[in-house]
Amino acid sequence: MKRRDPATFHRLNRRDLLLAGAAGVFVFAVPVRALTRPSLAAAILAFTGDAPVKESGVHFEIAPLVENGNAVPVKIDVDSPMTADNHVRRIALLTEKNPQADVAIFHLGARAGRAQVATRIRLATSQVVVALAELSDGSYVISRANVVVTIAACIEDLSDE
């Protein structure tokens, strides 16, 4: 950066403005990727469409404070008789602040016996995580969890090792 004496300080020429603007754009370029992903609400809507979504019947097990965001165990259990007429068709896991909203979509059916799945997921930062189930009558049930992540998962500096 060129040194400037106080007398000329107020006279920003066009090149300085362009540089400042470019610096400003650069600073914002890094998290822009995160800003362009759909919001959690939009992601839920993409999964459910116009269908009604009830906040009951979903047992979502995820630690409120996570040791490492690289592998967070989750377990989802949806109340359902799992008969041919009344069962869970799909269970989706969605996140609020990961680079992408979708984590997994599990396809079940009456033959599953129980609407129960478990897996391990990655969380980039502290955020809301959602377990969303589609029932055979076309309605949806949902459970939201607030998770605190102390170490980020998706962003890793490999030059350390």
> From the CB of 99, what's the least distance to other proteins, in Å?
5
Partners of 53 in beta bridges: 140
For 85, list phi and psi in degrees, rounded to 5. Answer: -90, -20
For 58, list phi and psi in degrees, rounded to 5. Answer: -115, 120
The one among 5, 55, 85, 160 contacting other proteins by CB under 8 A? 160
- Provide the 3-class DSSP secondary structure of residue 109: coil
Stretch that binds other proteins, among 16-24, 41-49, 51-59, 71-79 (CB under 8 A): 71-79
Residues 75 and 61 sit within 8 Å (Cβ to Cβ): yes
Strands 72-78 and 58-62 turn out to be antiparallel
Cβ closest to other proteins, residue 56 vs residue 83: 83
**CA-CA distance, 106 to 56, in Å (whole number)?**
19
> From the CB of 116, what's the least distance to other proteins, in Å?
5
Binders in 17-46 for other proteins, by CB under 8 A: none
> From the CB of 150, what's the least distance to other proteins, in Å?
3
- Could you tell me how many residues of this chain bind other proteins (CB under 8 A)? 45
Q: Which of 50, 44, 41, 67 has the alpha carbon at shortest distance from 152? A: 67
Using the rule CB under 8 A, is 145 a contact of other proteins? no
The one among 40, 121, 131, 142 contacting other proteins by CB under 8 A? 121
Residue that is written with structure tokens 């391990």 in the block? 120
Exposure on the CB side of residue 95, measured as CA atoms within 13 A: 25
Give the per-residue contact string, 81-120, with other proteins (x = CB under 8 A; - = no). ------------x-x--xxx-xxxxxxxx-xxxx-xxxxx
The residue ranges that bind other proteins (CB under 8 A) are 63, 65-68, 70-73, 75, 93, 95, 98-100, 102-109, 111-114, 116-123, 150-151, 154-161
